[in-house]
Amino acid sequence: MTAMTMHSPLMTTQRSGRSGFWQNSLAASLAVALHGIVLALLVHGWSPDTPRADPPAVLRTQLVMLPPAPPLVAPPPTPALVEPTPPEPVVAAPVKPAVDPQLQAQKLEQAALARKRVEDKKRDLQAEQQRQRLESEQRSREAEQQRVAEQQAQHAEQARLNAERARQQSAQAAANSRQYLPLSKEAPDYPERALDKHIEGDCTVEYTVNPQGKIENPKVLDGCHPLFIRPSLAAANTFRYQPKVVDGQVVSVPAVRNTFHYRIK
């Protein structure tokens, strides 16, 4: 390969001013450089042949049957964006002031006084409840005593009424007896057995005086000794009374009584 040296007017002008040594050295350097470049290209596979033309491209087509398109699906709803909650402000803890010992002592004293007042109120309430309970028990006892006294008074009044009724009946019977003055009356015989045993007593006989003044249905009342019953009834049957006249009519008189007294003289 032959190196070619190009000459320019500038170089010609410079050559005239330079020495011949420098001109030869520059030409030699250029020749060596060109030869090195060509050698490097050859080493890397450079060839001076012209490149071959590429064959024409062939396009081949094929009919392909595509499956039916799937139904359109609505896209899922986009979740609503949640706004982030702003962080709560951080409140700084209050700084506790220094405790005054005197103020603390006053608070403790006030708390003690408050507790004492509460305890006093509690004791007063308990005492009031106790007093009310005692008063209630006292009222109950008084009511019970009053009820018993009223019952006793009622019983006494009932007994008095019964005694008054009996007294009135006795007085009426006595009045009826006094209205009939007996026309004849015989004393009963004293039983010998009662004399032998020294027995004494009373015997009351009740009977009815008929319109003729005679005795009917005589009977001995309670309290009569058995030894005095027979002679008392026998003596009562001998009694004779004046008939009682009421509004011009002779009537019978019931419940007439006579008491026989048996005494040893």
Domain boundaries, the chain: 104-179, 182-262
In eight-state DSSP terms, residue 213 is: S
Strands (E), the chain: 182-184, 201-209, 215-220, 240-241, 244-246, 249-251, 253-262
**What is the predicted pLDDT for the residue at 10?**
42
Q: Distance between CA atoms of 86 and 97, rounded to whole angstroms?
A: 32
Which stretch, 1-15, 37-51, 92-106, 249-263, has highest mean pLDDT?
Answer: 249-263
- Percent of the chain with pLDDT strictly greater than 90: 26
- Given a cut of 60, whether residue 80 has pLDDT beyond it is no
Contact in structure between 215 and 236 (CB atoms under 8 Å): yes
Q: Distance between CA atoms of 216 and 256, rounded to whole angstroms?
A: 10
Strands (E), 91-200: 182-184
Which strand (E) or helix (H) includes residue 40?
helix 20-43
Report the DSSP beta bridge partners of residue 139.
Answer: none
One of 3.40.50.2020, 3.30.2420.10, 1.10.3720.10, 2.60.40.10 is the CATH number of 182-262, namely: 3.30.2420.10
Q: Distance between CA atoms of 232 and 204, rounded to whole angstroms?
A: 8
Angstrom CA distances, 70 to 28, 66, 74, 236, stand at 79, 12, 12, 146
Assigned token pair, 66: 């595509």
Q: Distance between CA atoms of 63 and 70, rounded to whole angstroms?
A: 21
pLDDT tens-place string over residues 201-247: 999 999 998 888 888 999 998 889 999 999 999 999 999 888 888 88
Confidence band, pLDDT 50/70/90 cuts, at residue 7: very low
Q: Distance between CA atoms of 149 and 20, rounded to whole angstroms?
A: 176
Angle at 223 between CA 220 and CA 225, to 5 degrees: 80
Confidence band, pLDDT 50/70/90 cuts, at residue 79: low
For 112-126, b where at least 16 C-beta lie within 10 A, e where not — what string?
Answer: eeeeeeeeeeeeeee
Contact in structure between 245 and 180 (CB atoms under 8 Å): no
**What is the predicted pLDDT for the residue at 5?**
42
pLDDT tens-place string over residues 132-167: 999 999 999 999 999 999 999 999 999 999 999 888
Report the DSSP beta bridge partners of residue 209.
Answer: 215, 253
